[in-house]
């Protein structure tokens, strides 16, 4: 089938594009390259450099007539969402609505939407969080990601647009950008390989569910034909704190200095990890990479590509 992937030059989106092409699908990528990279693009994918808010996005639907839309493009910086919630909502809510309206107009059968299992639940009432956990975001980013979930439910009822929602944990792996706003695995890996000081925000006791990008890509393939009208957590079901990530990477990279501790980031959840039982039962998906194995793959990538 023909699949339009927004954000398909980004870290996670490009891995999903690769998985779709490997599975034999035709892929069209829309990405404004604000955080994505041309070097991430699969040469077999057709590329349009475009912001999802640009009215010219309609021309892509006219030209390509995708059967499925995979929506990875987003404003993903929690700190920016706190400082500039209007921009966050403009991209993540209004931009996504425009995309869905084009999908409806041009007869797309399904949207696979990437939401956040790390931000929409807020500070958990219980752990691990399942998909029925109360939604109580503590940052604008979490609020905006969940808001479009509600719009998808509405569009399914009013316009027949099918959807599957994937709520990612903390995704890490090859192609994650170690510069600027990025996940701690990419940041720490880049700094350690360059023998630079590593700063941990807060105490380092913040707990996250670290899931390998290759596992997430497989879930996106499964969601093409399964998961109608449902939301799925993607995580490993085990919490890992930032100090442990530092320690693991320190060992893998043979990094000698100790971490420096700085102020905590505003709007961050202190402890979150997910259960992916629903994804296992309904999508046939479960994570296959251990944390150590995934971190080694990630460090190997940065050794080869970023140094």
CB atoms inside a 10 Å sphere around CB 50? 19
Contacts of 87 (CB under 8 A, 6+ apart): 75, 80
Nearest to 27 by CA among 128, 144, 104, 112: 112
Residue 307 clears pLDDT 50, i.e. is over it: no
Burial annotation 203-218 (CB, 10 A radius, 16+ → b, else e):
ebebbbbbbbbbbbbb
Please give the model's pTM, rounded to 2 decimal places.
0.95
DSSP 265: P
User: For residue range 90-119, what is the model confidence (pLDDT) as tens digits?
Assistant: 999 999 999 999 999 999 999 999 999 989
pLDDT tens per residue, range 133-151: 999 999 999 999 999 999 9
Q: Which of 63, 67, 76 is nearest to 20 (CA)?
A: 67
Q: Strand pairing of 207-208 and 240-241?
A: antiparallel
pLDDT of 27-52, one tens digit each? 999 999 999 999 999 999 999 999 99
Q: Are 38 and 14 in contact (CB under 8 A)?
A: no
Structure tokens at 190: 């880049």
Residue ranges and CATH numbers for the domains of the chain are: 2-171+210-235+276-282 (3.40.50.720), 174-207+238-272+289-305 (3.90.25.10)
Cα–Cα nearest to 164, from 231, 103, 102, 220: 231
Residue 304, classified by CB atoms within 10 Å of its CB into exposed (0-12), middle (13-18) or buried (19+), is: exposed
Of 20, 48, 113, 141, which residue is the catalytic one? 141
Please write the tens of the pLDDT for every residue from 209-225.
Answer: 999 999 999 999 999 99
Confidence (pLDDT) at 124 = 96
Rounded percentage of the chain residues whose pLDDT exceeds 90: 93
CA–CA separation, 224 and 24 (whole Å): 13
Q: Is 113 a catalytic residue?
A: no
d(CA 275, CA 297): 24
| Distance of alpha carbon 307 from alpha carbon 301, whole angstroms | 10
Which pLDDT score is estimated for 178? 74
The maximal CA–CA distance of the chain, rounded, in angstroms, is: 58
pLDDT of 177: 83
Give me the sign of the Cα torsion angle 245, 246, 249, 250. Answer: negative
Residue with the two structure tokens 């604008």: 140
Nearest C-alpha neighbor of 181 from the set 305, 304, 88: 88
């Amino acid at each position: 089938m023909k699949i339009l992937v927004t954000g398909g030059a980004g870290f996670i989106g490009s891995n999903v594009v690769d998985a779709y092409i490997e599975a034999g699908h035709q892929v069209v990528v829309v990405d404004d390259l604000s955080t994505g990279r041309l070097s991430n693009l699969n040469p077999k994918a057709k590329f349009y450099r475009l912001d999802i808010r640009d009215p010219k996005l309609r021309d892509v639907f006219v030209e390509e007539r995708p059967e499925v839309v995979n929506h990875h493009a987003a404003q993903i910086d929690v700190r920016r969402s706190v400082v500039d919630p209007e921009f966050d909502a403009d991209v993540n809510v209004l931009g996504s609505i425009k995309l869905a309206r084009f999908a409806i107009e041009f007869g797309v059968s399904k949207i696979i939407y990437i939401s956040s299992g790390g931000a929409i639940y807020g500070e958990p009432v219980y752990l691990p969080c399942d998909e029925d956990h109360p939604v109580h975001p503590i940052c604008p980013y979490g609020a905006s990601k969940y808001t479009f979930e509600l719009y998808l439910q509405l569009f399914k009822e009013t316009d027949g647009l099918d959807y599957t929602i994937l709520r990612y944990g903390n995704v890490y792996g090859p192609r994650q950008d170690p510069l600027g706003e990025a996940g701690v695995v990419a940041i720490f890996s880049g700094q350690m390989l360059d023998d630079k000081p590593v700063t941990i925000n807060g105490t380092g006791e913040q707990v996250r569910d670290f899931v390998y990008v290759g596992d997430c890509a497989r879930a996106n393939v499964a969601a093409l034909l399964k998961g109608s009208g449902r939301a799925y957590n993607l995580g490993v079901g085990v919490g890992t704190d930032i100090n442990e990530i530092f320690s693991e990477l320190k060992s893998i990279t043979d990094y000698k200095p100790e971490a420096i501790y700085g102020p905590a980031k505003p709007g961050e959840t202190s402890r979150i990890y997910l259960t992916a039982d629903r994804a296992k039962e309904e999508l046939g998906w479960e994570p296959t990479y251990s944390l150590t194995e995934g971190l080694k793959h990630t460090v190997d990538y940065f050794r080869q590509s970023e140094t």
